[in-house]
Amino acid sequence: MHAFPDLTGFDELPRRVLVVAPHPDDEVLGCGGVIALHAHRGDAVRIVVCTDGGGVEHDAALAARRRAECTAACRELGVSDVVFLGFADGGLEADGLCEGLADEFAKYAPELVYAPSKREYHADHRAAAAAVAEAAGGTRVLSYGVNAPVRCDLLLDTTSVVEKKRAALAKHASQRGDGRLGEQSLARDLANTINVDDPSVRAAECFEEAGFARECVAVPAEFAGLPRATAVISSWNKINEVRANLAGVYAQTLPFAKVVVVDNASTDGTVEMIRAEFPCVHLVEMPHSRYGACETFNIGFANADTELTAILDDDIVMPPDWLAKATQRLAQEPPSTAIVSTKVVEPGMPESYRNSEEVNRERYMSTFRGCASLARSKALAEAEYYDERLFIYGNERDLTCRLLNLGYRVLQYSGAEVFHHTPFGLKPGKRSLYYHARNAWLSMLKYAPAKDLARLPWLVFSKVVLRSRKSEEDGAVTDAVGTIGIGKSLKETPGAFWIVTKAALSVLYNVPYCLKRRAPVTHDDFDLPLS
């Protein structure tokens, strides 16, 4: 099933608007329809044009002509408040733009800003996007695309004002070249309606939530040169935990460049809370809750456009220095270290486990803690993210096997830690027991060497079925945290025998799938989950 963006209700948008255009005509090309809608509603609209339009030769006569054309075009849209900052074409990367925009923001105090996307091909457009991000503070920013597409977070019906946009485009006579520019812009607006079911919608403009200043904001001087990170969180019906989590995410001393939350159709108000309290979050809403955590995380990973990706559960709380410490440690590692797995503290975790040498020393591992780890985005993509066949649980070890086969490593690092609300060990319940039992076998069928695969039945019997409850309560250390408490779960979960039988049947069903992908790991870091 595919999820297309719904048309956004225009009434939801604020009424005091500032539009930033790198050049004269970008205001119409990028968001002329929406400008006309705001003006028609009686909103306060100011348009700030950054360059003078004088071209690469800095022609004063041409600059004067384009300024007049821009003023006339804005009148066609219903706007007379136009400010020209006067920077030279091609010169927006020079000093002064951010200060100029910050001054305009302070004087006008907009509630909503439209600005070019940071993904634009034109250097002036990217420079304007970065300056807006730095100057906007907490003001909401919607990014438009002129010469590069934007992610469609908001889709606005501009059918009623399409002729106003056409008339405004016609005013930019010196910019039109062969006359196709206006046609191309309107054709794009028509193309934006491709997934709109209402046949009366014949034009639409789309915008990306720019994430306010946090997407492009400069990092503190002490962290200069460190790679930037995107936080990826998969959430489902944990509104209070997600609120606390995001508060911690935005309190980091080294700011995240981007925050992505993929919500699995929560019904407890999580989505509404994020929109109201954390509008800078890039929120992906799944159409129903039948997606597994592997798939929702993969969607989040695909939305990360930074060098690093933080893999975060929805119910963790991180101290302000978590990202700084994890990033600094990963930056010290060779490129072959794909993931830094940080320390996790959980309710019910025995002190002997929390303080053990194995948990607190740096070492390379055959898995990682999926609730709080920092990864190289390129390595995640190269390993093809999580295997969605697993649905949930055991996906970290499965991914690590592919990373090891690619020559990467995973480092345990206790210098940064988070608090995890989920109790220590195996989460009780039928679903947890089923997927833990099933997925351990699926992963090992794909990646365990034959000699290790032959040992697995004995390890399951001796280290799961026969594992004493006292050893678990005393904090016996294992990297396979999900197996801690599985013996208790087998004894106490109603219908455990039939659950495990169902898991075994699923393993048999998936044998062809596993054999097709079989790639035994020979890396020295590999270990069986129950060794």
pLDDT in tens, 84-131: 999 998 878 766 888 899 999 999 999 999 999 887 878 889 889 888
Q: In the predicted model, is pLDDT for residue 387 greater than 50? A: yes
Bigger pLDDT: 474 vs 381: 381
Q: DSSP of 429-445, one letter per residue?
A: SHHHHHHHHHHHHHHHH
User: How far is CA 426 from each of CA 429, 434, 457, rounded to the nearest angstrom?
Assistant: 9, 11, 20
Res 12: pLDDT: 82
User: How far is CA 495 from each of CA 155, 431, 484, rounded to the nearest angstrom?
Assistant: 49, 12, 20
Give the integer Cα–Cα distance in Å for 266 and 263.
6
* pLDDT (mean) for 416-433: 84
Beta-carbon neighbour count of residue 465 at 10 Å?
11
Q: In the predicted model, is pLDDT for residue 465 greater than 60? A: no
Q: Is the pTM of this model over 0.75?
A: no
pLDDT bracket for residue 216 (50, 70, 90): very low
- % of the chain surpassing 90 pLDDT: 63
The domain spans of the chain are 10-214, 219-420, 430-516
CATH fold for the domain made of 10-214:
Rossmann fold (3.40.50)
Res 111: pLDDT: 94
Give the integer Cα–Cα distance in Å for 311 and 289.
20
Res 135: pLDDT: 86
Architecture of domain 219-420 in this structure: Alpha-Beta Complex (3.90)
Model confidence pLDDT, tens digit, residues 393-417: 999 999 999 999 999 999 999 999 9
Res 213: pLDDT: 39
Model confidence pLDDT, tens digit, residues 149-194: 888 888 999 999 999 999 999 999 887 656 677 788 899 999 999 8
Res 469: pLDDT: 52
* pLDDT (mean) for 282-296: 93
* pLDDT (mean) for 503-528: 96
CA 41 to chain centre: 34
- Look up residue 19 and give its DSSP letter: E
**Residues 239/268, Cβ–Cβ less than 8 Å:** yes
* pLDDT (mean) for 17-29: 96
Res 490: pLDDT: 72
Bigger pLDDT: 432 vs 28: 28
Average pLDDT of the chain?
A: 88
**Residues 314/235, Cβ–Cβ less than 8 Å:** yes
Model confidence pLDDT, tens digit, residues 295-348: 999 999 999 989 999 999 999 999 999 999 999 999 999 999 999 999 999 998
User: How far is CA 247 from each of CA 216, 252, 259, 303, rounded to the nearest angstrom?
Assistant: 19, 9, 12, 21
pLDDT bracket for residue 279 (50, 70, 90): confident
Compute the CA torsion angle 385, 226, 122, 142 (nearest 10 deg).
70
Res 118: pLDDT: 80
Give the integer Cα–Cα distance in Å for 43 and 393.
50
Q: In the predicted model, is pLDDT for residue 426 greater than 90? A: no
